[in-house]
Amino acid sequence: MVGLASLLLALGARDAAAPIDRRALVTRHDPVVRTLDPESPLSVGNGEFAFTADATGLQTFPELYDETIPLGTLSQWGWHTSPNPNKWSIDTFGLTAYDSHGRQVGYADIPGDRRTPEIEWLRANPHRLHLGRIGFRLVTADGREATPGDLADIEQTLDLWNGVLVSRFTVDGSPVAVETVCHPQRDLLAVRVVSPLVGQGRLAIRLRFPYGTGGTTAADWSHPDAHQTSLTRLGTNAATFARTLDADRYHVATRWAPAGTIEEIGAHDFLIRPNGDTDTFEFVAAFSPAPSATDTPGFEPARLAARAHWNRFWQTGGAIDLSGSRDPRWRELERRIVLSQYLAAIQCAGSEPPQETGLTFNSWEGKFHLEMHWWHAAHFALWDRLPLVERSLGFYRSILPRARETAARQGYAGARWPKMTDPSGAESPSSVGPFLVWQQPHPIFFAELVYRTRGDRATLEAFKDVVFDTATFMASFAAWDETGRRSVLGPPLQCAQEVFPKDRTTNCTFEITYWAWGLQTAQRWRERLGLAREPAWDRVLATLARPSVADGKYLFAETAPDSYTNPRWARDHPSVTAAFGLLPGPGIDRETMRRTLQWIWQHWSWPDTWGWDYPMIAMTAARLGEPELAVDALLLDTPKNRYRNNGHNHQRPGLTIYLPGNGALLYAAAMMAAGWDGAPDRHAPGFPADGRWVVRWEGLRRAP
């Protein structure tokens, strides 16, 4: 048996060195849809813009999807703000004072989670906007407008390698073939349809424009008088639309071939019909915040650009091939990895941090959450796609003045980053969000990821203000506990494990460890720049409370001595493990964390967890030298660790996609394959080395 195991390991090592057939790796996981499946619509996008379609390749039957995964057309710049006659602002919002070691600090709290019109408006504005519904109008042979039941022979494939959504179906036996692509550099949708229905006058393109809302669909169709759409016809092949929603404006430039007519059939509702005896109709729609200064390209240039972009995407960066494995779970894990790469690239790689549901539909009133930015974007650096994370890092520089104002208003130095926010960087009222702090060190982590790749002074100069202001706040936030002669975090404090009372919580294990790592890293940045160490940061590092231990395990928080005896704590995020999973764990004892992890694995309420928790557990297990547990965690059979046919991580009704789960999976998989600083010197150190897993990887970078 020893000889067989050695042979299997040798074969695995040989296969690991062979070049990966990347096209085969990607295309074996192309999603295929054979029904109008409301649980698994497919999307095309470019990180700045995304379009989600039903099985027709467009948004023809959106009502089927509104309660599951709404069919959205969303962009990074597409925000709407409802009228504000009362001039509500977070800057004038009545803050709730909390005692912080004898000092009163104001927070945008919602005591009792009450909702007033002011709170509702502040939470929901601005919100991402559905820019316009684009679908087919299909007519049956007897002159009716087709319903979902009139479609047959559906077969839709997302061609990942070429970035094209290919949809086929029939109406009354007549075939319809549709190609849908998104231009890689422009917020432009391009469609080609081939069908005898075109020449028969039974197929047209329908455009509808909604009002804005923070609701899930990002579209309000019930207030046509609240917004304006101005149509300008440009001959028989093009038209533009100027959209006005209160103080917000955007534009849509359309063109089509062959020639056709455009007709307004209702308020904000337009129909484009092709002319002539032809089976082929091409249509493009380019969305922009201002009138486009360049010509709108046609379908074929957009298709070629998309193909070149996606071919290059898959041929560069990292890749993980598990097809040589004997463990039957390899295909599902590989499928999740491949589809998560695509979804992250089209949903999470834009110029702003994404919301949990990306550019598909609205979650949490259409805003994004900065504590989730790590899960959305950190993986790009490990997959050697650093520019995709760098796109959104400028956001921190853009809101730095407001972050400084927030810190100063609370009596702290430096910059305090918000939780639930929008492009302005304003905080949103919440009974939880304003009290979270684990997003504070994130910009330092992102900057360090960039420096690990670039290693140049230009990187240090570009991020130094954000890194230094972040560290200054972190040192200022750590309060001096005279009784214990130490620096502490909280109260008030909301742990990443959001179950503890914020007014009585101190020294969460993950947050304390992240504070230590962040301040240590910020000091290294000063040294790299030839600057002296900051004494205030060193004082906090020297006196910072250590994570608390009871019965040989780390407490979730120092103020939760019953972490392991009170069942109500063993739920939500097991974030105590992030101290030696997400982080390399400065000051963390391996064996204490091992006992902590084993208890959590055996006793946690997994239905109460979230999609990023399982990769977080896997990362911790990998660092502890328990690769079997790492793989088991990635594939744990529990409701919120399920990945739909389209690759999305399903959580619950109303949150049917959850991109932090996809991003966390990518970070964990890269780390398990390529290793981490101080990892065992063997191939794929985070996977079992017993021959059941053959992990071929290339182009990945080691995790911190």
pLDDT tens figures, 373-424: 999 999 999 999 999 999 999 999 999 999 999 999 999 999 999 999 999 9
pLDDT band at 293 (very low <50, low <70, confident <90, very high): low
The per-residue pLDDT for 9 is 43
User: Based on the number of CB atoms within 10 Å of its own CB, is 425 exposed (0-12), middle (13-18) or buried (19 or more)?
Assistant: buried
Evaluate whether residue 374 is within a structural domain: no
Give me the phi and psi of 117, to 5 degrees please.
Answer: -55, -40
The per-residue pLDDT for 15 is 44
Q: Tell whether the model's pLDDT for residue 5 goes beyond 50.
A: no
Evaluate whether residue 623 is within a structural domain: no
**CATH at residue 208:** 2.70.98.50
Count of structural domains, the chain: 1
Evaluate whether residue 256 is within a structural domain: yes
H or E element that contains 542: helix 535-543
Condensed to tens digits (0 to 9), the pLDDT of residues 307-341 reads 999 999 999 999 999 999 999 999 999 999 999 99
The per-residue pLDDT for 1 is 39
User: Based on the number of CB atoms within 10 Å of its own CB, is 667 exposed (0-12), middle (13-18) or buried (19 or more)?
Assistant: buried
Condensed to tens digits (0 to 9), the pLDDT of residues 133-142 reads 999 999 999 9
H or E element that contains 196: helix 196-199
Evaluate whether residue 382 is within a structural domain: no
Evaluate whether residue 115 is within a structural domain: no
Cβ proximity of 608 and 614 under 8 Å: no
Condensed to tens digits (0 to 9), the pLDDT of residues 421-474 reads 999 999 999 999 999 999 999 999 999 999 999 999 999 999 999 999 999 999
DSSP-derived secondary structure for 672-689: HHH-BTT--SSSSTTS--
Evaluate whether residue 524 is within a structural domain: no
The per-residue pLDDT for 295 is 83
pTM greater than 0.95 (yes/no): yes
The per-residue pLDDT for 112 is 87
Evaluate whether residue 162 is within a structural domain: yes
SS3 285: strand
Alpha carbons 658 and 644: distance in angstroms, whole number:
11
pLDDT band at 6 (very low <50, low <70, confident <90, very high): very low
* Mean pLDDT taken over the chain: 96
pLDDT band at 248 (very low <50, low <70, confident <90, very high): very high
Q: 205 is written with which tokens?
A: 């393109």
The per-residue pLDDT for 2 is 40
The residue count for the chain: 704
The per-residue pLDDT for 100 is 96
Task: List b or e across 337-369, with b for residues whose CB sees 16 or more CB atoms inside 10 angstroms.
Answer: bbbbbbbbbbbbbbebbbbbbbbbbbbbbbbbb
In sequence order, what are the beta bridge partners of 253?
240, 286
Condensed to tens digits (0 to 9), the pLDDT of residues 583-636 reads 999 999 999 999 999 999 999 999 999 999 999 999 999 999 999 999 999 999
Alpha carbons 162 and 505: distance in angstroms, whole number:
51
Q: Tell whether the model's pLDDT for residue 478 goes beyond 90.
A: yes
Give me the phi and psi of 285, to 5 degrees please.
Answer: -135, 120
Range of the domain at 239: 44-81+128-312
Q: Tell whether the model's pLDDT for residue 16 goes beyond 80.
A: no
Evaluate whether residue 158 is within a structural domain: yes
Give me the phi and psi of 557, to 5 degrees please.
Answer: -150, 150
Q: CB neighbours (10 Å) of residue 674?
A: 25
SS3 105: strand
